[in-house]
Amino acid sequence: MNEKGGLLRKWNKRYLFEYLVALILLLGTSALCIRAAQAAAARKMLLMIPPVIAVLLMAIVILRHYRRIDEFLRREMSQSLAVAAAFTYLWATCYGVCEIAGFPRISIWWVWGSMTVVMNLWLFGKGVFRR
């Protein structure tokens, strides 16, 4: 038997550990890239590879978590992903039109941030993890 908290806690702990390792790798390699921004073109391209590997690692961590969790949690996660994708698609398209009208250009990183925030807000709002 598992201790208090059950399987979800165990899955979440494993997921958070793997995700944090990948995130630290991404932040570290991204910092390297920013430093290399003034370097020669060929070297610059080489230094762009590590963050891409780190992002790939993060995607693998998320997929591993998705396969590990049970059918109900998988359904809830899929729903939250659909809501996050729809919300992000909506504002990104609207803002894209606004940019044509002269609004300042924003980074593509906003899309990633929006997806993550909306997904988690949806899951916590529904109280999936509280029950």
x/- mask, other proteins, residues 10-29, rule CB under 8 A, reads -x------------------
Distance CA 128, CA 73 (A): 8
- The binder of other proteins chosen from 4, 34, 105, 108 (CB under 8 A): 4
CB atoms within 10 A of CB 123: 19
Query: Is residue 67 near other proteins by the rule CB under 8 A?
Result: no
- The binder of other proteins chosen from 22, 26, 61, 73 (CB under 8 A): 73
Q: Residue 35 or residue 75: which is nearer to other proteins going by CB?
A: 75
14 Cβ contact list (under 8 Å, min separation 6): 65, 68
- The binder of other proteins chosen from 40, 71, 97, 100 (CB under 8 A): 71
